[in-house]
Amino acid sequence: MKNFSDSDIDRIIQMCWEDRTPFDAIKNQFEISEKEIISIMRNNLKEKSFLNWRKRVDNRKTKHQLLSTPQKNRFKSKSQRQISFNRSK
């Protein structure tokens, strides 16, 4: 396993907790396998936090790109307005 800086480990943990960040994005950015990702989480979280995280991501479609739906089907609130050069209309 690679030696990561503390800031890299913090970023990996943050990405793991984000619901919409798939493991593949973490793999691509840090060049590590899902097994290594799980090991990092296990070694850097308290046991209860790790177990809560595992329960949360187990078979979660958004964490596994092969299980997730295509991006065009993502939910978008009707109240969310289109951004046009950051100017209000």
| pLDDT value at residue 19 | 82
Distance CA 42, CA 45 (A): 6
Of 14, 73, 67, residue with least CA distance to 41: 14
Q: Is residue 88 part of a domain?
A: no
Asked, for residue 57, whether it belongs to a domain, the answer is yes
pLDDT reported for residue 48: 96
C-alpha span between 24 and 45 (Å, rounded): 21
89 residues of the chain, pLDDT tens digit each: 678 999 999 999 999 998 888 889 999 999 999 899 999 999 999 999 999 999 988 877 667 555 445 555 455 555 544 544 444 44
Number of domains in the chain: 1
Answer yes or no: are the C-beta atoms of 61 and 69 closer than 8 Å.
yes
Domain assignment present for 77: no
pLDDT for position 35:
92
Q: Which domain holds residue 42?
A: 6-67
